[in-house]
Amino acid sequence: MKYSIGWFTTAKGPGSRNLLSAVQQKIISGNIDARIEFIFMSRDPGESPETDLFINLAREYRIPVVHFSYKKYRQSRGISDKTNVEPLPEWRLDYDREIINILSQFHKPDICVMAGYMLVVGPELCSTFDMINLHPAAPDGPTGTWQEVIWKLIDSRSESSGVMMHLVTPELDRGPVVSYCRYPVRGPSFDEFWNKINNQTSETIVKGEGENNQLFKEIRRQGFIREMPLICLTIKAFSQGRIRVARKVVVNCEGQPIKGHDLSAEIDDEIQKQLTQ
């Protein structure tokens, strides 16, 4: 039986489609021996043109799509606040319970991938499924959005950064590390930009160039080109049994707990192949 994947998304933009295509094409080619059991989408058809484009793509791949609009559910409960607050209020936990009920029609997948899913996941959804998510930093790196991570790297004058996949827990971005890669933020591609900022803090840079700063952009570029390979190679490692989740603990093929599976070398090879094509 093929390794089964659940796919959670808000289908907010082209990045969601690109990620689905990247994984599904590797499945079709036989590079990943798995299947996507279902796609859960937190928007309904017609909520945005991007949503409809995503649904059309999923249909082309013949992947079942289940949709349950977070926006409409929130409005039906008379809630005007759009923010993801913690701890999650009862109405928000009810939304997760509805998801669990809706997805009970499918076989429980071996792993669920959060692929542009824009909602905080509550404890019941976390305990029902083994879910993994991307975080744009190394396992010992900063927390926050990718922008916040980069500013923190600059302020701390870091030597390296990374990207990781982690197990989703109710505590945002704090779940056990599943897989990761590291890359330097020093060397020929970076040194000129470090010299240009001199002793400036991120606060000063934000007031000036902001995200147009060359160092900021190069750190982002190096992280971004590794995100999709990390997701694909992590799914592949799961499908091959090199890593798995046992009672919310990440273990290797021998069942021994690990602090994440290092995919740096494989990802660097993947990037080199893309550059030479």
Tell me, what CATH number does 71's domain have?
A: 3.40.50
Domain endpoint, select from 87, 106, 129: 129
Residues 54-83, mean pLDDT to the nearest whole number:
92
Indicate whether 206 and 101 sit together in one domain: no
Residues 13 and 125 reside in one and the same domain: yes
Rg (CA), the chain: 19
Using the structure block, give the residue that is written with the tokens 């500013």: 151
Do 111 and 11 share a structural domain? yes
Q: Are residues 30 and 117 located together in one domain of the fold?
A: yes
| Tally of structural domains, the chain | 2
Burial class (CB in 10 A: 0-12, 13-18, 19+), 139: middle
**pLDDT tens readout for residues 96-131:** 999 999 999 999 999 999 999 999 999 999 999 999
154 and 35 housed in the same domain: no
Q: Do 103 and 10 share a structural domain?
A: yes
Residue 26 domain flag: yes
Contact indicator for 15, 39 with CB cutoff of 8 Å? no
Mean pLDDT within 224-249: 97
Per-residue confidence (pLDDT) for residue 82, from 0 to 100: 62
Report whether pLDDT(87) > 90: no
Is the pLDDT reported for residue 84 higher than 70? no
N-term to C-term CA, the chain = 34
- 42 and 156: one domain? no
Three-state SS across 75-107?
HHCCCCCCCCCCCCCHHHHHHHHHHHHHHCCCC
How many other β-carbons are positioned within 10 Å of the β-carbon of residue 180? 26
- Is 123 domain-assigned? yes
Q: Which of 58-67, 131-140, 173-182 has the lowest mean pLDDT?
A: 173-182
Structural domain contains residue 176: no
Tell me if 134 is assigned to some domain.
Answer: no
Taking 70 as the threshold, does the pLDDT of residue 210 lie above it? Answer: yes
112 and 155, same domain (yes or no)? no
The residues, ordered by sequence, that sit 6+ positions from 158 with a Cβ below 8 Å of its Cβ are 185
List the one residue out of 6, 270, 275 whose CA is nearest residue 130: 6
Structural domain harbouring 115: 1-129
How far apart CA 149 and CA 55 sit, in angstroms, is: 32
pLDDT tens figures, 163-202: 999 999 887 667 899 999 999 999 999 999 999 999 899 9
Q: Please enumerate in sequence order all residues whose Cβ is within 8 A of that of 68, keeping only pairs 6 or more positions apart, or say none.
A: 40, 41, 42, 44, 95, 98, 99, 102
Strands (E), the chain: 3-9, 34-41, 65-67, 111-114, 131-135, 160-167, 177-184, 243-246, 249-252, 261-262
- Asked whether the predicted pLDDT for residue 262 surpasses 80, the reply is yes
pLDDT mean over 243-262: 96
Please check whether residues 95 and 5 belong to one and the same domain: yes
Q: Do 45 and 149 have their domain in common?
A: no
Does 53 map to a domain? Answer: yes
Does 39 fall in a domain? yes
167 inside domain: no
Domain end (from 88, 108, 129): 129
Per-residue pLDDT at 173: 65
Residue 273 has pLDDT above 70, yes or no: yes
Quick check: is 34 in a domain?
A: yes
Confidence of residue 258 (pLDDT cuts 50, 70, 90): very high
> 48, 38, 41: which is closest to 13 by C-alpha?
48
Provide the mean pLDDT of the chain. Answer: 94
146 and 125 in a single domain? The answer is no
C-alpha–C-alpha distance, residues 264 and 277, integer Å: 20
pLDDT beyond 80 at 86: no
Q: What is the pLDDT averaged over residues 16-29?
A: 97
pLDDT of residue 174: 74
* pLDDT at site 170: 80
- Indicate if 2 and 60 belong to the same structural domain: yes
